[in-house]
Structure 1
Amino acid sequence: MPTLYDLKEKLATVGNQLKNVEEQLVDKAANPAVTKEEIEELKNKKADLQQRFELLKEQHDKVEKEQQAKIKQENPISVVENEEGKLIAAKAELIRAAIQNRPMSEEAMNVLRALPAPQPSGGEKLLPTTMTDALVYEPFARNPLRDVIRMSNIRGLEVPKIAYTLDDDAFIGDDETAKELALTGDKVSFGRHKFKVKATISDTVLHGSDLNLVNYVENALRSGLAAKEKKVSFATTPATGEEHMSFYSTQNNIKEVSGADLYEAITQAIADLHEDFRENARVCMTYADYVRILQTLSNGSAVLFNAPPESIIGKPVVFSDSATTPIVGDFNYVHLNYDGPLVYDTDKDVNTGDYLFVITAWIDQHILLKSAFRRAKVVPVG
């Protein structure tokens, strides 16, 4: 079996011969003194070389593909191919150039410009691509609500609270919703609430491989964004101006439904929802609360612990340690908006010597209809 190197050499040799014959054929075809037989001989020679070249090319491509697959299988992290590799290298250069206060190369800038983004500021370029973890760091935070709420990145966003209307104003079946719309209006305008996320980068990571650097920074920034999203959603004492974002704020004043224990409180809260919201309802609660429910219902049996949460609670469950009081409702009526592109800045911690890569973002979140939600509260009997 010829090696890839041998095939490259043979392919180059035949390719040069084919090129020479093609040049001779053009020259002789333009010379009236050359006989028809000479031209036919060159044409046959060209066809023969062309066939040989294609056979070698096919074999070369096959061996090259097999070799790349073998290398990638043996070391999948260090080998990043083609466009993905260019993207990682460009992102790594963006981080290093920002920290070292130097310009980026035009090639890297072109790679980042090719990514879809609202503005060419650079910060938002770091987050669209999800890559396989190459290093194991401390656990990174995630916001479980991202899977069930609406999300967007639109400047000056304004959305209707209900996606449809009828000529008859009395079409809304839920009196509570009708009163809410009459009181607060049928549209929501999103604002801009600024916050920063800082990724701390050591010298070792900064000067390490492109993949490790980009992976670490992207995960740290995503973690910071997720932590902020959870904080505003479940804050019991929200920051001034952020009260409307929290399920637990007195401003939103989401209705509480009580029960003698967690299970009763949650099931009663589901039942208390209007049917328009009950059908798509979910329960957001801590895993510790869910385990307590299982312990109560199972009465010492382990059978329930293997059952999916939906079969126990009656609705799909979203687990978050921040949901200290279970939230029941249709999470389609929660909308989180990032207002415009993220922008980046850099700094250095003089005490530790670490570098800081800082993302600034502007967000706003609205619970479009408070009547689509209930809070499940335990009130012991007696």
Structure 2
Amino acid sequence: MKTLYELKQNLATVGQQLQKVEGELAQKAIDPSASMEDIQALQKSKEDLKARFDVIKEQHDTMEAEQKAQFAQNKGLQAVADPKEKVVQAKAELIKNVMANKPVSQEIYQALGDDSTGGGKFLPKTVANDIISEPLVKNQLREISTFTAITNLEIPKINFTLDDDDFIADKETAKELKTTGDVVTFGRNKFKVFAGVSETVLQGTHTNLVSHVENALQSGVAAKERKVAFAQNPKTGEEHMSFYSSQNGIKEVEGDNLYQAIKKAIADLHEDYRENATVVMRYQDYSDIIETLANGNATLYSAQPEQILGKRVVFSDAAIYPIVGDFSYSHFNYDIGTTLYERDKDVKTGVEQFVVTAWFDHQIKLKSAFRIAKVTSTP
């Protein structure tokens, strides 16, 4: 079998012959003294050389494409010039290797900006960061709470201090700090997120595979955040993460109706928290308030929620009772340095699962920064 170099030489030789014959044919065609037999002979020669040229070119192009593909494969991710495309391809290869129970190469980790991994079973920080951002399923607290990804995080509950110990005007805050201390230490609460990956998706384009898996994981993470923050009966070990947990003991403010309870809850906050307060509540409850207040007046239905309640309103169906407060004191932290990945299979459906095990914590840094609004219980 000829080499690519030999095919290139043959292609050049036949190409030159073809070019020469085409030139002679052009001259004969305009020469009145040339016979038709000479012209037809040149035409036949041209057709033969053209056929030979096409055959050699097809062989040349096929072999060249194969060699380029082999070269790119040997170079791996180094052959990808576009940095964004390289990250997508690296993520896709990571997912495919995990699903096939194959080791993940150091090259993949390096492409994802994680040189220190050493080929272990840790999820690269690039992937972990992407998973905890921009979910399809929304945790509405992401708009107002604090989010970080720092291992062994410890932070002060209040961002500033004064040399005078009596600088805290809110007596509830002062009492809370004295009881619980002035530093929040974030723990590591384990949870798993499953992304179902069908054979079709796994064999599809890198872009579709990465998009499918990341969207599933991002949505699962957001759903977990929302679930623990609004849990009425939190799991053992997760009690401190819920606004409704008796362990947190967030003060409840009652009113004859929900509108009155929310307004009282806002007023009950110390001004340091009231200034930046947000109301998190169900849209259904807000609609009931508007219907009661409107009493046939259509103008209220077009008013912004902030105009009605006096504070920014964020809707979440998980907020069974409205929560009023400064949500900068609601803090989610992820320990992405120890995020693991693995594979599993749903025996019922046969769908493969790309599984991420992560650790996170939700700390309500100051309970006194929040109130829960409830309707007065009837005896």
Per the normalisation by structure 2, the TM-score is: 0.72
Alpha-carbon separation, structure 2, partners of 1:310 and 1:210: 44
Q: Contact 1:152–1:337 at 8 Å: present in 2 too?
A: yes
Instruction: Answer yes or no: is 1:93 the counterpart of 2:98.
Output: no
Which residue, 302, 323, 340 being the options, matches 1:343?
Answer: 340
Give the distance between the partners of 2:196 and 2:366, measured in 1 at CA. 39
CA 1:257–1:363 in structure 2 vs 1: closer, same or farther (change >3 Å)?
same
Letter in 2 for 1:87: V
Equivalent AA in structure 2 for residue 195 of structure 1: F
Larger CA Rg, structure 1 vs 2: 2
Taking the aligned partners of 1:185 and 1:264, their CA distance within structure 2 comes to 34
- Report the residue type matching 2:204 in the other structure: G
- The CA deviation string for residues 130-162 of structure 1, in whole angstroms up to 9 with x for no partner, is 9xx9xxxxx942111012111111111111111
Please report how far the alpha carbon of residue 368 of structure 1 lies from its aligned counterpart in structure 2 after TM superposition.
Answer: 0.9
Query: How far has the Cα of 1:103 moved from its partner?
Result: 4.0
Instruction: Note the C-alpha offset of 1:107.
Output: 5.3
| TM-score between the two structures when normalised by the length of structure 1 | 0.72
Where does 1:49-60 land on structure 2 (aligned, <5 Å)?
none
Specify whether residues 116 and 319 from structure 1 end up closer, same or farther in structure 2 by C-alpha distance, changes over 3 A only: farther
Asked if 1:372 corresponds to 2:373, the answer is: no
Separation (CA, whole Å) in 1 of partners of 2:370 and 2:129: 31
Identity score, percent: 55
Shift in Å, 1:355: 0.7
- Displacement of 1:127 in angstroms is 4.7
Q: Does 1:298 align with 2:300?
A: no
Residues 151-190 of structure 1 mapped to structure 2, 5 A cutoff: 151-190=147-186
Query: Higher mean Cα deviation, 296-305 or 249-258?
Result: 296-305
Q: Which runs of 5+ in 1 are unaligned?
A: 1-80, 134-138
The 1:105–1:189 alpha-carbon spacing in structure 2 relative to 1, beyond 3 Å, is closer
Task: List per-residue Cα deviations over 1:225-276 (Å, max 9, x = no partner).
Answer: 1111111111111111111111101111111111111111101100010001
Letter in 2 for 1:312: I
Alignment of 1:118-197 (within 5 A): 121-122=122-123, 124-129=125-130, 140-197=136-193
- Residues 23-81 of structure 1: per-residue CA shift (max 9 Å, x gap): xxxxxxxxxxxxxxxxxxxxxxxxxxxxxxxxxxxxxxxxxxxxxxxxxxxxxxxxxx9
Displacement after TM superposition at 1:82 (Å) = 2.9
Query: 1:114: how far off?
Result: 6.2
| Counterpart contact for 2:335–2:360, Cα < 8 Å | yes
The letter for the 1-side match of 2:358 is A
1:248 alignment partner AA: Y
Does the 8 A contact of 1:124 with 1:343 survive in 2? no
State the SS of the aligned residue for 1:113: coil
Residues 1:203 and 2:199 are matched in the alignment: yes
SS in 1 for 2:175: helix
1:105–1:252 Cα change, 3 Å: closer
CA shift digits 1:82-120 (9 cap, x unpaired)? 332222222111111110122456654432126999x98
Q: State the match for 1:226 in structure 2.
A: 222
CA RMSD in angstroms, aligned pairs only: 2.6
- Which amino acid counterpart does residue 126 of structure 2 have in structure 1? K
Equivalent-residue separation in structure 2 for 1:274 and 1:161 (angstroms): 16
Matched to 2:127, the amino acid is L
In 2 relative to 1, CA 129–188 (structure 1 residues): closer, same or farther, beyond 3 Å?
Answer: closer
Distance (Å, rounded) in 2 between the aligned partners of 1:91 and 1:283: 39
5+ residue gaps, structure 2:
1-80
Cα separation, 2, equivalents of 1:256 and 1:109:
49
Cα separation, 1, equivalents of 2:377 and 2:109:
62
How far 1:292 moved relative to its partner? 1.0
Distance, in Å, in 2 between the alignment partners of 1:246 and 1:199 is: 26
Deviates more, 1:332-341 or 1:352-361: 332-341
Whole-angstrom CA distance in 1 between matches of 2:130 and 2:116: 11
Instruction: Kindly provide the amino acid, as one letter, of the partner of residue 350 in structure 1.
Output: V
- How many residue pairs end up in the alignment? 296
Tell me the residue number matched to 1:289.
285
The 8 Å contact of residues 261 and 380 in structure 1, kept in 2 or not, is answered as: no
**Contact 1:123-1:359 within 8 A present in 2 as well:** no
Task: Report the residue type matching 2:101 in the other structure.
Answer: N
CA separation in 2, counterparts of 1:320 and 1:254?
Answer: 19
Summarize the Cα distance change of 1:186–1:296 in structure 2 as closer, same or farther, 3 Å threshold: same
